[in-house]
Amino acid sequence: MSYIPVSRSSALRERLPQSLKRLAELAYNYWWSWEPEAVALFQAIDPIAWDQVGHNPVSILENVSYDRLTQLMGDPHYLKQAQQVFEKFDRYLASDDTWAATQASGLSQENPIAYFCAEFGVHESLPIYSGGLGLLAGDHLKSASELGIPLVAVGLMYRQGYFRQRLDQSGWQEDYYVDNVFNRMPLELVCNEQGEPITTQVLVRQRMVNLQIWQAQVGRVRLFLLDADRHDNDPIDRWLTGHLYGGNQETRIAQEIVLGIGGVRALTAIGIKPAIHHLNEGHAAFCLLEVCRQEMQHSGKTFYDVEATVREQCVFTTHTPVPAGHDVFSSDLMDSFFAQYWEELKLSREQFMALGARRLGDPWEPFGMTVLALRLCRTANGVSQLHGEVSRQMWAAMFPRATEDQVPIGYITNGVHASTWTAPLIADLYNEYLGRDWADQAADPATWAKVDNIPDALLWERHQILKERLVAHARHRVCQARQQRQEDVSQIRAIDHLLDPKILTIGFARRFSPYKRGDLLMRDAERMLRIFQRTAQPLQILFSGKAHPADEEGKRIIQRVMEWCKHPDIRDRVVFIEDYDIHIARQLVQGVDVWLNNPRRPLEASGTSGQKVCFNGGINCSVLDGWWCEGYQSANGKGLNGWAIGENANTNDQAVQDKIDSDSLYHLLETEIIPLYYEQDADGIPHGWIKMMKASIKSNCPAFNTHRMLMDYVQQVYLPTAQVESKLSLAKV
pLDDT tens for residues 455-478? 999 999 999 999 999 999 999 999
**How far is Cα of residue 428 from the mean position of the Cα atoms in its chain?**
25
List pLDDT tens digits, range 661-678.
Answer: 999 999 999 999 999 999
Phi, psi angle pair for 42, to nearest 5°: -75, -40
User: What's the rounded mean pLDDT across residues 595-600?
Assistant: 96
Whether 728 shows a pLDDT value over 80: the answer reads no
> Helix, strand, or coil here: 516?
helix
As a whole-number percent, the residues of the chain with pLDDT over 90 amount to 90
Mean model confidence pLDDT for the chain = 94
What pLDDT sits at residue 5? Answer: 59
Whether 727 shows a pLDDT value over 60: the answer reads no
What pLDDT sits at residue 682? Answer: 97
List pLDDT tens digits, range 161-205.
Answer: 999 999 999 999 999 999 999 999 999 999 998 889 999 999 998
Q: How far apart are CA 600 and CA 658, in angstroms?
A: 8
What pLDDT sits at residue 729? Answer: 44
Q: Are 290 and 267 in contact (CB under 8 A)?
A: no
pTM: 0.96
Burial class (CB in 10 A: 0-12, 13-18, 19+), 684: exposed
Q: How far apart are CA 199 and CA 207, in angstroms?
A: 16
> Helix, strand, or coil here: 688?
helix
List pLDDT tens digits, range 491-522.
Answer: 999 999 999 999 999 999 999 999 999 999 99
The alpha-carbon radius of gyration of the chain (Å, integer) is 26
User: What's the rounded mean pLDDT across residues 17-33?
Assistant: 96
As a whole-number percent, the residues of the chain with pLDDT over 70 amount to 97
List, in sequence order, every beta strand (DSSP E) within 109-233.
113-116, 151-156, 164-167, 173-176, 188-191, 199-204, 207-218, 221-227
* DSSP assignment of 36-86: HHHHHHHHHH-HHHHHHTTS-HHHHHHH--HHHHHHHHT-HHHHHHHHHHH
What pLDDT sits at residue 533? Answer: 85
User: What's the rounded mean pLDDT across residues 680-708?
Assistant: 98
User: What's the rounded mean pLDDT across residues 95-124?
Assistant: 95
What pLDDT sits at residue 726? Answer: 37
Q: Are strands 504-509 and 188-191 parallel, antiparallel or unpaired?
A: unpaired
- Residue with the bigger pLDDT between 120 and 647: it is 120
What pLDDT sits at residue 733? Answer: 43
pLDDT range class, residue 324, cuts 50, 70, 90: low
